[in-house]
Amino acid sequence: MTLSGRALRLTVFVDDTDTWHHRPMYTEIVHRAHAAGLAGASVFRGMEGFGAGNVVHTTRLLSMADDLPVTVVIVDAEEKIRAFLPQLDELLIEGLAVVDEVEVVAYRGRQVTT
């Protein structure tokens, strides 16, 4: 797959305890992105944050060590990201999803030797 130039970055913010049919929400998003043939997805765990509920969640307080922020980032061509959005809409009960324009300057995988 080749990816260069203008693209979209889809960033999804959820809590690490959010689930979809007993599976972590971030895992479901990544697997759906993979099945949709998107260029790639990465999950990043946050140390601290707050969202629409206006409650600060942090690793610094033992009692608040759950519901930490998790971010899923997916970059691909605009048409592929836009085609994926309905699947995301089906999943998100709580959370935030944003799309922004980016420029891909490098997209290389490992060389496969046969």
Q: What is the pTM of this model?
A: 0.83
* CATH 3.40.50.1440 describes domain 5-102: no
Check whether 48 has a pLDDT greater than 90.
no
Q: In the predicted model, what is the mean pLDDT of residues 82-98? A: 90
User: What integer pLDDT is reported at residue 85 of this predicted model?
Assistant: 96
Every domain of the chain and the residues it spans: 5-102
* Sequence-ordered strand ranges (E) for 1-114: 5-15, 19-20, 23-24, 41-45, 48-49, 57-58, 69-76, 96-104
Beta bridge partners of 28: none
- Cα(111)–Cα(114) distance, rounded to whole angstroms? 10
Q: Tell me if 89 sits within 8 A of 4, measured CB to CB.
A: no
Task: Give the mean pLDDT of the chain.
Answer: 86
Check whether 21 has a pLDDT greater than 80.
yes
